[in-house]
Amino acid sequence: MNLTAFRAFQGRLRELIGEAGRLAEELGFSALVQVCQDLDRRLAAERFTVAVLGEIKRGKSSLINALLGAEVLPKAALVCTAALCIIRHGVAPRAVIQYRDGGQREVPTADLQQVATKKNPEAGNLAHIEVEYPLPLLAEGIVLVDTPGVNDTDEIRRRLTEEFIPRSDGVLFVLNAGQPFSDSEMRFLTTGILRHHIRKLWFVVNALDRLATDDEREEALAYCQEQIDQVLPQARLYGVSAKTYLEGRRAQDPQRMAVSGIPDFLESLTRDLVASRWEGLIDVPLGLFGSFLAELERGIAWEASLLEKSATQRAEMASQLEAECRSLIEEKGRLTQRFLNEAESLVYEIARGPARPSEEGLSAAICLILQDPKASEADMQQRLGHLYHDRLQSYLQALIQDLHRRLSPLARQLSAEFAQRVGRLDTRATMAGGSGGLDAAKKPLDNGAPHPMPLPGLPELDLEAGTLLARLAPILSLGLLATGNLVLAALAMTPALFRRWGPADAPRVIAGFRERLDEGGRRIRDELFAHKSEIARTLADQMLQGFAPLMRLVDDARERARRLAGEADHWRVDRARDLDRARAAAAALVERLASLRREAIR
């Protein structure tokens, strides 16, 4: 199936979901309405995200430009990329810088060469760059993510690349025909990619045009295939020349474009991505929507059962529901306070702990800077400033990551506890919290409440340390750590520390650097201690976002209680007519979904 057919199928499924959501809204099933909206947003946001990886000077930028069909990313900038470049579709060319402190700034795409380079004074504060471009490939939902070189010497940029890999649908690993498959590339393949179990992985040997003969090109491809087969037998390997393709495109020469290998690779890339997302569409959204329709029919049956109950019975049910809802709202407050207390205690423990910034590899890094014969004193001072900034930022990220790691079990525990309590009201909650499972959904409820598809439970504070840092930066006066101002602080170190450069001065510079690094580490811990309550509240607010699906069940129950208590006997005739119509509409939706399933199997 091609992308056009995929999108058409996706559109028909979204149409069904919209009709089902409107039916649930007419019936007053507010939680079901929210489930439908969430599922539709999930389908609408469906993307094919491909991380483009490779060492510096392997031709990543020229390959990306060839895939896009235009010189979108300047090659000079991509040689020394300072941040992730996320390229998606837009009606006009556009680039937006996203900073680590949460700010953003729009720039012309022509300025990317200056913005994306490590020589940019703001490089230490770049989170990522979002690029929009009006090209058909991107309009079909493909997102390309260019990354800093996997052999980048900057720890922060290298970590950005490594953290993005597990979130990708596929990885495009770029090799170079003139430098086929180095030992460092093999190490990154085995330790940086394969361990994440990426399902879609393409190897592209670029710059075949640099080899003079067909024999040389075949030899280079055979060598790369042989190396890859050692760890990934039968891997897909493509030989291309991005330069030849772009030259052919500018000259409007189809034959030159074809011999470049880019069209064949692009066709394979598109086919594989569609197959991957097609599996996801069958396995997840179709299944979830089927569960939704089953629960919609149960809800209709529950409403119909009320027609047989007396006003007194309905009033008693309403009173029980309302009392349980009030109790759950109070329980939410108690669990939140429990998390707050634990989070504040952990922040205190971390802030007063003996940890200090890592000095691993510090001496070697400083010596390399001091021994660079081409660098001026200003260059050395700036590089030392960046080193200082990166070490402190890594230290703060490590502290936040430790906080995240130690709070996650508590978040899971509170999720399960609250889900069990809500499960007394509605078994959907036990499915959401993971404690009841699907078996719970098969059991009838005492209060007759419908129990639709599983809803997401409480998250595990599964944010990356860098994201948490951005959330916490506004609280801390050392938010300047996320803005890059510590680079300026480093440059303002006493002139005595950096007055004279050379290998002989290394011990003195290293000792002074360590002293300043320890001072910066103490300042970070002091700031964490001073703002421990605000930090705990920020983390609690993040945790409470996970309560939203469970609280929707509580709100839905309160709405049922109000409806039960307020409806007079004359509502029976009108409600019976509405339910008959809804039952027929739901049955029609089930049949149309079955038709979609049959199409999916074919």
**CA neighbours closer than 13 Å in the CB half-sphere of residue 564:** 28
Degrees to nearest 5, angle at CA 426 with 420 and 430: 35
- What pLDDT does residue 455 have? 37
CA-based nearest residue to 148, from 54, 65, 242: 54
Please tell me the predicted confidence (pLDDT) of residue 493.
41
Model pLDDT for residues 134-152, shown as the tens digit of each residue: 876 677 677 888 887 766 5
Q: Report the chain's mean pLDDT, rounded to a whole number.
A: 75
- What digits encode the pLDDT tens for the residues 385-442? 778 877 887 788 788 878 888 888 888 788 778 877 776 665 444 333 333 322 222 2
Strands 200-206 and 104-107, by their bridges, are unpaired
Same domain, 345 and 396: yes
In a domain, residue 425? The reply is yes
In a domain, residue 225? The reply is yes
Greater pLDDT, 148 or 481: 148
Other CB atoms within 10 A of residue 293 CB: 21
Same domain, 236 and 129: yes
* Residue 39 shares a structural domain with residue 56: no
Quick one: which of 238, 263, 247 has its CA closest to 172? 238
Q: What confidence category does residue 97 fall into, taking pLDDT thresholds of 50, 70 and 90?
A: confident
Question: Span 104-125, mean pLDDT?
Answer: 72
Block residue for tokens 């809800």: 299
Residue 135 domain-assigned (yes or no): yes
Q: Which residue has the higher pLDDT, 29 or 281?
A: 29
Task: Tell me, yes or no, whether 340 and 243 share the same domain.
Answer: no
Q: What is the average per-residue pLDDT within 208-223?
A: 91
**CA-CA distance, 268 to 271, in Å (whole number)?**
5
Residue 175: the pLDDT is 92
Judge if 321 and 252 occupy the same domain.
no
Say if residue 495 is in the same domain as residue 348.
yes
Q: What percent of the chain has pLDDT over 70?
A: 73
- Cα gap 524→376, rounded to integer Å: 31
The reply to whether 83 and 36 lie within a common domain is no
Q: Please give the Cα distance from 197 to 415 (Å, whole number).
A: 28
Regarding whether 88 and 36 lie in a shared domain, the answer is: no
pLDDT of residue 159: 62
Question: 457 pLDDT exceeds 70?
Answer: no
Reported confidence tier of residue 247, pLDDT bands at 50, 70, 90: very high
Q: What backbone torsions phi and psi does residue 202 show, to the nearest 5 degrees?
A: -115, 140
178 plus 99 within the same structural domain: yes
Give how far the C-alpha of residue 306 lies from the chain's centroid of Cα atoms, to the nearest Å.
44
- Whether 337 and 373 map to the same domain: the answer is yes
Q: How far apart are CA 437 and CA 230, in angstroms?
A: 42
Residue 580 placed within a domain? yes
In the predicted model, is pLDDT for residue 555 greater than 60?
Answer: yes
CB-based contact 50:142 (threshold 8 Å): yes
The answer to the question of residue 270 being in a domain is no
pLDDT at residue 321 is higher than 50: yes
Model confidence at 279: pLDDT above 70? no
pLDDT of residue 80: 52
Among 49-63, 84-98, 166-180, 418-432, the minimum mean pLDDT is found in 418-432
* Contact (Cβ atoms closer than 8 angstroms) between residue 157 and residue 83: yes
Domain carrying residue 284 = 1-43+275-304+569-602
pTM for the full predicted model: 0.53
Domain ends where: 201, 230, 260? 260
- Mark whether 233 and 359 lie in a shared domain: no
The number of domains in the chain is: 3
pLDDT, mean of residues 238-242 = 94
In-domain check, residue 265? no
* Dihedrals phi, psi of 241, to nearest 5 degrees: -130, 100
Tally of CB atoms within 10 A around 69: 17
Q: Are residues 581 and 495 in the same domain?
A: no
Q: State mean pLDDT over 336-357.
A: 91
What's the rounded Cα separation, in Å, for the pair 428 and 418?
12
Q: Residue 241 has which token pair?
A: 């020349």
Give the per-residue pLDDT at 378. 74
Phi, psi of 473 (to 5 degrees): -55, -45
CATH number at residue 210: 3.40.50.300
Q: 480 pLDDT exceeds 50?
A: no
The span from the CA of 448 to the CA of 305, in Å, is: 8
Q: Is the pLDDT of residue 200 over 60?
A: yes
What are the φ/ψ torsions at residue 268 (nearest 5 degrees)? -65, -40
The mean pLDDT of 491-509, rounded to a whole number, is: 56
User: What is the reported pLDDT for 16?
Assistant: 93
Tell me which of 129-143, 229-243, 281-295 is least confident: 281-295
Query: Rounded to an integer, what distance in angstroms lies between the CA atom of residue 390 and that of residue 359?
Result: 12
pLDDT, mean of residues 449-466: 40
Instruction: Give the tokens for residue 11.
Output: 């559109």
Residue 214 covered by a domain: yes
Read off the pLDDT band of 1 (50, 70, 90): low
